[in-house]
Amino acid sequence: MDGHEREFVSEVFDSNWIAPLGPMVDGFEAALAAYTGVKHAATMSSGTAAIHLALILLGVKPGDYVICQSFTFSATANPIRYLGATPVFVDSEAETWNMCPIALEKAIRACKNGEIAQDHLQNSKPTPKTGQHQTTDRSSPVSTNLKPKAILPVHLYGMPAKMDQINAIAAKHDIPVIEDAAEALGSHINGKPCGSFGDLGILSFNGNKIITTSGGGALLANDEEKIKKARFLATQARDPAPHYQHSEIGYNYRMSNILAGVGRGQMQVLPERIQQRRANFDFYNDLLKDVPGLSFLPEPEGYFSNRWLTTILVDPAKTGGITRETIRLALEADNIESRPLWKPMHQQPVFASYPFFSTGVSNKLFEQGLCLPSGSSLTPADHERISTVLKNVLKM
Ligand SMILES: *Cc1c(COP(=O)(O)O)cnc(C)c1O
């Protein structure tokens, strides 16, 4: 927190607008729309809730295919299963670590040609144990709708995905795009902000993100009808009537007016947070760029990453046997936390049976990748401590 958040939160208390809507929510939504250049924003209780509603708005039903980046956090994929739809995972390409347009095209064709339905259903059928009572079959029903209902690319670690290519493929096949920009607020491609490329964009303000409201998210769209519908569904789908009447299943997904106050304060420090995160990247890059076997993710021409987390790849064939675990454990021994990169969804026990279109990239990233300490609040003294451990373990 920076300090301005308190002023906005005090304003909420003074006005006694303590509710999951109110003037502070309106103000935060206006600030998000202005920042991302998208016409409308609806704040939500989480980024996950925003993805869930985005899928509902696109009419995703049980058995439908939704194409999803495999290399991501599980929150991207879980809402596909909330709806009983089938995630079709697509691997990454090496330049941005995000959805590979070539693998995407293959996945769409395979769905449309009915090439993957049978495989997947065989894999996902639960095998009943002997003597076990046969209850409901939880596997996805056979889809009658072969064309995928949505494409879900992610800007992982703040690096923009290849949105021009992905959008071109989506347009060719007439499939809407939901852009998971949870980690990429402030990132852009040639000045066009992440969150503004898809038919629907989603943001997260969870505690670990570049700005936070402790928990929260937002749905972005130029289509006003979609945002109106999202607000309706997020407030229990109340029909316009003096009594409580419901013709649709609703959700309680709106953001609290108090938290929106925190969000408005955080918007003021977003440029500074991006600068701090990018300074972390520069620190590690300067320190480690000449170490054989270590590599960073450079920004492709025209791409700007908020560098939410600084990540490195460690190739033991070139480091003399030092692996990312050697480095992680050396940091841990000095009570410094670092983590492997996201484990791709196709490797997760809960998603392993779903279709996957591989390039080999995300397997390698998970094997060799490490997220280095990347908080906005890292001090020069912290950098010094981390640098000592890294120099030691890498024998620099
Ligand atoms: C954090 C995150 C989400 C989910 O956001 P929550 O607000 O935590 O629900 C979705 N996708 C990605 C890539 C994320 O990192």
Task: Provide CATH 3.90.1150.10 ranges for the chain.
Answer: 270-393
Give the DSSP H or E segment for 192: strand 192-193
Q: Are 53 and 204 in contact (CB under 8 A)?
A: no
pLDDT for the residue 120: 53
For the CA of 72, the closest atom of ligand 1 is 13
pLDDT for the residue 364: 98
pLDDT for the residue 394: 96
Q: Report the percent of the chain where pLDDT is more than 90.
A: 91
What's the whole-number average pLDDT of the chain? 93
pLDDT for the residue 136: 40
Q: Report the percent of the chain where pLDDT is more than 70.
A: 93
Name the DSSP class of 222: S
User: Looking at domain 4-267, which of 3.40.50.12280, 3.40.640.10, 1.10.1740.10, 1.10.287.610 is its CATH number?
Assistant: 3.40.640.10
Neighbour count for residue 291 (Cβ, 10 Å): 18
List ligand 1's pocket residues with C-beta within 6 A: 46-48, 72-73, 75-76, 154, 180, 182-183, 204, 206, 217
For the CA of 50, the closest atom of ligand 1 is 9
- Residue with tokens 């450079």, as numbered in its chain: 298
pLDDT for the residue 142: 55
Q: Atom 14 in ligand 1: which residue has the minimum CA distance? A: 182
Instruction: Report the pLDDT averaged over residues 73-93.
Output: 98
- DSSP helix, strand, coil percent of the chain (3-state; round to 5): 40, 15, 45
* Residue of 55, 183, 362 with the most ligand 1 atoms within 8 Å of its CB, for mutation: 183
Tokens representing residue 47 in the block = 């980024």
Q: How far apart are the C-alpha atoms of 55 and 146, rounded to whole Å?
A: 16
φ, ψ of residue 344 to 5 degrees: the values are: -60, 150
pLDDT digits (tens, 9 = 90+) for 250-272: 999 999 999 999 999 999 999 99
Q: What is the distance in A from the centroid of ligand 1 to the CA of 116?
A: 28
Q: What is the distance in A from the centroid of ligand 1 to the CA of 320?
A: 36
Q: Indicate whether 335 pLDDT > 60.
A: yes
Just give the CATH number of 270-393: 3.90.1150.10
Instruction: Report the pLDDT averaged over residues 56-67.
Output: 97
Q: What is the distance in A from the centroid of ligand 1 to the CA of 74?
A: 8
Q: How far apart are the C-alpha atoms of 200 and 223, rounded to whole Å?
A: 9
Helices 101-112 and 163-173, packing angle to 10 deg: 20
* Residue of 44, 45, 48 with the most ligand 1 atoms within 8 Å of its CB, for mutation: 48
pLDDT for the residue 145: 72
pLDDT digits (tens, 9 = 90+) for 199-242: 999 999 999 999 999 999 999 999 999 999 999 999 999 999 99
Task: Provide CATH 3.40.640.10 ranges for the chain.
Answer: 4-267
Give which of 263, 259, 147, 196 is closest to 38, Cα–Cα: 196
* Residue of 76, 78, 342, 374 with the most ligand 1 atoms within 8 Å of its CB, for mutation: 76
Q: How far apart are the C-alpha atoms of 12 and 262, rounded to whole Å?
A: 10
Q: Indicate whether 42 pLDDT > 90.
A: yes
Q: Concatenate the DSSP letters of all residues of 330-394 into one string.
A: HHHHTT---EEPPPPGGGSTTTTTS-EE--SHHHHHHHHEEEPP--TT--HHHHHHHHHHHHHHT
Confidence grade of residue 141 (pLDDT, cut at 50, 70, 90): low
Name the DSSP class of 267: H
Rounded alpha-carbon distances, angstroms, from residue 141 to 86, 99, 117, 128, 154: 9, 27, 10, 17, 27
Confidence grade of residue 171 (pLDDT, cut at 50, 70, 90): very high
Read off the amino acid at residue 284: Y
Q: What is the distance in A from the centroid of ligand 1 to the CA of 236?
A: 23
Q: Atom 8 in ligand 1: which residue has the minimum CA distance? A: 206
